[in-house]
Amino acid sequence: MAHEQSQPASPSPPPDHQPGRSDIRTAFKVDIVVIGAGQAGLSSAYHLRNLGLVPRRNYLVLDKSPEPGGAWQYRWPSLTLSTVNRVHDLPGMAFAEAIVGLDPEVRASTAVPTYFAAYEQKFHLPVYRPVTVKVVCDRGERFRVETDRETFSARGLINATGTWETPYIPEYPGAERFAGRQLHTRDYRAAEEFAGQHVLVVGGGISALQLLDEISQVTRTTWVTRREPQFREGAFTPEDGRAAVAIVEDRVRRGLIPGSVVSVTGIPLTPALRAARARGAMNRLPMFSEITERGVRWPDGTEQPVDVILWCTGFRSSLDHLAPLQIREDNGGIVMSGRLATEVARDPRIHLVGYGPSASTIGANRAGAAAARELTARLGLA
């Protein structure tokens, strides 16, 4: 049984740390562990700091990535600040403060990590990286957080692991015999790599349409979705946002699997999408019924040969490391409570930020504040 020391965790490994040793696993104590240093995790850490908690003694942030930036550092190069959905400011520091002379054509994978790095430095946030959380177990009054480096002991958890690590690809008959290439949104780099090939784009979200637009400008494409996408004219208002978040929040409070906010709000019909529609790239087909060796087939027997299947079918919440805590319902959902539905009803010592209604940059900011306040109050730290 591992010995739990009383000293606080440090963002640097202890001097005698020897990765891979199995004879002893010392658990370093903190009050709250934040898992993930994306928008939601940094917002949570900021608010814990502002509530007077001491870094590395009361709270610590564990981040899997080697550099700041969360999932943004892995986005495809053509995703620029002019094409991405708005990146909302983190609390206490505006995006423009870190990115001076902002060029709308700069890569999001460069600009956002630069912002996050400046943010961590400005507020001296105790981010320990790279460290991968393998599993979290309940040990009574404390959680045991096992990583690929150290083991930590915490009284409360704020999980902010997002979705990037768990891409979703639906199962279809024949997928294993397809002779072409299959990849997911997260694998995409540039449209030019598909030149001369026929690409089947699957999905009806914002990312699917952005990639369809890019790829259709350099090669042949076919677009399929399960449902007819809903497009919206005009500006997206704050009222629209609140209404959409309320719908998703209602779902998670009832323990249902959260739907995406975009599925509620509709997709903005941008000038780029209008141009794609004009050149015929957005002639949508219904979903096929099976995958063949050379392409796909619909129920009526119609076939379409393709070289590439690009699955823009979204992501699932990256929560496998929390499996031993048994927070899911039989349907796979999680019953959420608290002011902004960040608190796990089965165990209020666990907060999920960036899940359900907070799975957006502005939602993650508000969720981080709520989770920090509610958890510190429950643990008697505020």
Kindly state whether residues 30 and 52 are assigned to the same domain: yes
Is 248 part of any domain? no
Exposure string over 20-54, b if 16+ CB within 10 A, otherwise e: eeeeeebbbbbbbbbbbbbbbbbbbbbbbbebebe
Kindly state whether residues 221 and 337 are assigned to the same domain: no
Contact 340, 358 (CB under 8 A): yes
Kindly state whether residues 8 and 145 are assigned to the same domain: yes
106-118 average pLDDT score: 91
Is 32 part of any domain? yes
Return the structure tokens found at 44.
């949570």
The parent domain of residue 161 ranges over: 4-13+24-165+315-378
The pairing of beta strand 133-138 with beta strand 143-147: antiparallel
Is 253 part of any domain? no
pTM for this entry: 0.87
Q: What is the pLDDT of residue 95?
A: 85
Kindly state whether residues 80 and 147 are assigned to the same domain: yes
Kindly state whether residues 342 and 281 are assigned to the same domain: no
Residue 202's domain is classified under what CATH number? 3.50.50.60
Helix, strand, coil share of the chain (percent; to 5): 30, 20, 50
Instruction: Give, for 86, the enclosing helix (H) or strand (E).
Output: none
CA-CA distance, 358 to 201, in Å (whole number)? 27
The domain total for the chain is: 2
Kindly state whether residues 128 and 94 are assigned to the same domain: yes
Kindly state whether residues 221 and 339 are assigned to the same domain: no
Quick check: 8 pLDDT over 50? no
pLDDT, tens digit, 9 for 90 and up, residues 222-249: 999 999 888 887 666 667 777 777 888 8
Alpha helices in the chain (DSSP H): 39-50, 95-98, 108-122, 206-216, 238-253, 262-265, 271-278, 361-378
Q: What is the share, in percent, of the chain residues with pLDDT greater than 90?
A: 68
Kindly state whether residues 53 and 192 are assigned to the same domain: no
Quick check: 33 pLDDT over 60? yes
Residue from 135, 163, 151, 146 nearest 325 by CA: 135
Q: What is the pLDDT of residue 295?
A: 97
Is 246 part of any domain? no
Please report which confidence band the pLDDT of residue 214 belongs to, taking 50, 70 and 90 as the band edges. Answer: very high
Kindly state whether residues 8 and 149 are assigned to the same domain: yes
Kindly state whether residues 277 and 363 are assigned to the same domain: no
Kindly state whether residues 56 and 194 are assigned to the same domain: no
pLDDT, tens digit, 9 for 90 and up, residues 167-205: 999 999 999 999 999 999 999 999 999 999 999 999 998
Q: Which of 311, 334, 364 is the last residue of a domain?
A: 311
Is 282 part of any domain? yes
Kindly state whether residues 205 and 82 are assigned to the same domain: no
CA-CA distance, 126 to 245, in Å (whole number)? 30
Is 110 part of any domain? yes
Q: Which of 311, 326, 347 is the last residue of a domain?
A: 311
Is 237 part of any domain? no
Is 251 part of any domain? no
